[in-house]
Amino acid sequence: NAGVTQTPKFRVLKTGQSMTLLCAQDMNHEYMYWYRQDPGMGLRLIHYSVGEGTTAKGEVPDGYNVSRLKKQNFLLGLESAAPSQTSVYFCASSPGVASAIYGYTFGSGTRLTVV
């Protein structure tokens, strides 16, 4: 029972490099989310998806792109990494339209450092 799996767990990038973070869930959840966590700021929503083939912007979408080609996967891309994107990234999923009622299931996070 894996739940939500994030890869990689750690990554160091140089400024200007690109990378993709992968989130996979095996619970047949409709909704998926990408958050970033920074000290003193809690979790901030980057992008989210309410179903396969859909994406939407959250609070802090600039500098990131996402894709949801398959229901179980939600990819977060950084096209040109900047030091301000140094953070811990969390993926989450929820069953569907009642997600704000029932809560999310989180992955264990990806710690990204941009130097």
Partner 1 sequence: AQSVTQPDIHITVSEGASLELRCNYSYGATPYLFWYVQSPGQGLQLLLKYFSGDTLVQGIKGFEAEFKRSQSSFNLRKPSVHWSDAAEYFCAVGAGYSSASKIIFGSGTRLSIRP
Q: Residue 63 or 109: which CB sits closer to partner 1? A: 109
CA 23 to chain centre: 7
CA distances from 50 to 9, 12, 36, 114 (A): 25, 30, 19, 30
Check if the beta carbon of residue 6 is closer than 8 Å to that of residue 107: yes
Candidates 1, 2, 14, 42: give the one binding partner 1 (CB under 8 A).
42
CA distances from 61 to 26, 51, 56, 110 (A): 25, 18, 9, 17
Q: Does 12 bind partner 1 (CB under 8 A)?
A: no
Q: How many residues does the chain have?
A: 115
Candidates 34, 48, 64, 74: give the one binding partner 1 (CB under 8 A).
48
Q: Residue 17 or 73: which CB sits closer to partner 1? A: 73
Q: Does 4 bind partner 1 (CB under 8 A)?
A: yes
Q: Residue 14 or 72: which CB sits closer to partner 1? A: 72
- Point out which span in 13-21, 40-48, 61-69, 79-87 binds partner 1 (CB under 8 A): 40-48
Candidates 11, 19, 22, 45: give the one binding partner 1 (CB under 8 A).
45
Residue numbers 49-108 binding partner 1 by CB under 8 A: 50, 58, 90, 92, 97-104, 106-108
Plot region of 51 (φ>0 → left; ψ -120 to 50 → alpha; else → beta): left
